[in-house]
Structure 1
Amino acid sequence: MTVFEISATGRNRTGRTRVARPTLAAFTPAGLLPYALPLTVLVLWQGLTSIGVISDRVMPAPTAVLTAFYDQIVSGDLVRDIGISTGRALAGLLVGGVIGLALGIANGVSRLSEQLTDTTLQMLRTIPHLAMIPLVILWFGIGEESKLFLTALGVLFPVYLNTYHGVRNVDRDLIEMGRIYGMSRRTLFRKVVLPGALPSIFVGLRYALGIMWLTLIVSESIAASSGIGHMANEAREFMMTDVVVLSLLIYAGLGKLADVISRALERRALAWNPAYR
């Protein structure tokens, strides 16, 4: 059993592994507190649209959005568009995240690598990647390549900066102790540097997830023939405000789901850290 598993499960007094059991804490008043504000907004939204304070053209009622959701589900278009958008987002996250992680680690551990690439990366980072959409369309057209490029570019820099910062700020005393105990460079990186940089890496990942969905929304709205952004853009042309709002809510839900998954992975990977227990 690894140190991650021991920290996550714990041991009882007899020395046997104690497996954590799910609790009903999420259903207590304290557990339901984070949902109080969204529910309040939802109730006010429905009430104001029902009495005519908010026009349906400006913001349709939640019931109208729910009806649009049902219609899109029944037609099968919504499931297809969500699958396409999710695939694009994950592909961009994979490409940009791997490149950013590799560059962050390389520049964090190697002074030569930092001198060669960091200045160039910082210059590229200051260019708004969404402003490159006209140029990207000229390069790749409106196919999948343009969306992959933009999403990967948006994800790359948050992952890079936080990985670089995390590697550079690992406790030097721990590194020196590892050297005293005779650890090789590879073992020192695997046992000391990488675990010490993980909290910062996960911060970069969570920030990159927000950039990922933001980039995808814009790229799909401008140049796409499928996906949630295309669904919203098509609904705008036909003045279907309920479908446009539905598209935004789906983006918000997918973003929240991605953040929940990343936080769960963070807690599991950092179970050895007292701050994450």
Structure 2
Amino acid sequence: MRRRLGPGRRVPFGRLLGPVLLIAVWWAASALGVLDPRILSGPGTVLSTAGDLVSDGRLQDSALISLQRAGLGLFFGVVTGVALAVVAGLSRLGEYLVDGPLQIKRAIPSLAMLPLLILWLGIGEQMKVTVIALGVAVNMYINTYASLTGIDSRHVELAESLELNRWQFLRKVVVPGSLPGFFVGLRLAVTSSWLGLIVVEQINATSGIGYMMFQAQQYAQTDVIVVGLVVYGVFGFLSDALVRAVEGRVLAWRRTLAS
């Protein structure tokens, strides 16, 4: 029999195995007394606290505000990053003008710019969305630009020999060639939006999941803090799964190890 070298067949909902195993270990450690509840509350306590937060509406309100911030930052960051990548990837002049500043920004963490952004924009929603968008835009730019410039030059030569116009070239060569990199960037951008959200919601915020966690820290409510972490984790896992699902449909023509 021929030996299989690939990772094997996919199992439906197989990606849930890791999180389920993690929760099982957490639950067992809590039940056996290995975890001090003052340091890390057990799953049962966290579930009870989550139910209380849902019943009084705090969790839903905070989650909606956090989703709005992350969503706006993700939208503006993706649009900006892709637009800059297209300019730099399809034009030599655009590359000279855009790539240098973006590489400099890549070396400067968005969090390092917080003091300056607070001076410019204050501590309101505009600053929070801007911080998230900056991190997202860099991830989108780097991956989309790399995908655009990595298109095989023979495909470009073939398009020229077929006398495709600019629009046909973009639709039949550029878009299919850049989509894999775009989706890699989008997955990283989604993660970046949640990371940025966690930070900005603990800087003079008055609402959101991060604010709820910050308030819980003042009163040593580890169960509320863990509820917030779980919500962030669920948001991140579901958003990544959504991007994966869209990627699988859009790039169904590819045959890869991930298929």
> Distance between the aligned counterparts of 1:271 and 1:31, measured in 2?
17
Deviates more, 1:178-187 or 1:195-204: 178-187
Instruction: Say whether 1:31 aligns with 2:12.
Output: yes
> Distance between the aligned counterparts of 1:37 and 1:198, measured in 2?
28
> Distance between the aligned counterparts of 1:165 and 1:34, measured in 2?
28
1:32–1:153 distance in 2 versus 1, CA, 3 Å: closer
> Distance between the aligned counterparts of 1:161 and 1:35, measured in 2?
30
> Distance between the aligned counterparts of 1:112 and 1:84, measured in 2?
41
> Distance between the aligned counterparts of 1:200 and 1:268, measured in 2?
15
> Distance between the aligned counterparts of 2:145 and 2:210, measured in 1?
33
Which residue of 213, 222, 233 maps to 2:194? 213
Which residue of 132, 154, 163 maps to 2:113? 132
Name the counterpart of 2:243.
Answer: 262
Report deviation, 1:47.
2.7
> For 1:53-68, what aligned pairs fall within 5 Å after superposition?
53-68=34-49
Report deviation, 1:238.
1.5
Name the counterpart of 2:252.
Answer: 271
1:34–1:180 distance in 2 versus 1, CA, 3 Å: same
Residues 87-132 of structure 1, C-alpha deviation per residue, up to 9 Å, x if partnerless?
A: 1111001111111101101111100111112111111221111122
Residues 185-237 of structure 1, C-alpha deviation per residue, up to 9 Å, x if partnerless?
A: 12101111111110011101101111110010011012311111111111111
Instruction: Say whether 1:228 aligns with 2:209.
Output: yes
Which residue of 72, 90, 103 maps to 1:91? 72
Residues 55-96 of structure 1, C-alpha deviation per residue, up to 9 Å, x if partnerless?
A: 111100100000011011111111111111111111001111
Report deviation, 1:257.
0.8
> For 1:2-151, what aligned pairs fall within 5 Å after superposition?
30-31=11-12, 33-151=14-132
Amino acid across the alignment from 2:119 = L
Report deviation, 1:45.
1.9
Residues 134-180 of structure 1, C-alpha deviation per residue, up to 9 Å, x if partnerless?
A: 22222222210111110000101110011111111112222211221
* Alignment gaps of 5+ in structure 2: 1-8
Deviates more, 1:64-73 or 1:42-51: 42-51
Name the counterpart of 2:4.
Answer: none
Amino acid across the alignment from 1:151 = I
Amino acid across the alignment from 1:128 = P
Aligned-residue identity in percent: 41
Name the counterpart of 1:237.
Answer: 218
Instruction: Say whether 1:182 aligns with 2:167.
Output: no
Number of equivalent positions: 250
Report deviation, 1:33.
4.7
> Distance between the aligned counterparts of 1:236 and 1:147, measured in 2?
21
Instruction: Say whether 1:198 aligns with 2:172.
Output: no
> Distance between the aligned counterparts of 1:203 and 1:34, measured in 2?
18
- TM-score computed with the length of structure 2 as normaliser: 0.91
* Alignment gaps of 5+ in structure 1: 1-24
> Distance between the aligned counterparts of 1:193 and 1:232, measured in 2?
45
Deviates more, 1:113-122 or 1:49-58: 49-58
Q: Which SS does the other structure have where 1:95 is aligned?
A: helix
Instruction: Say whether 1:159 aligns with 2:140.
Output: yes
Report deviation, 1:50.
2.8
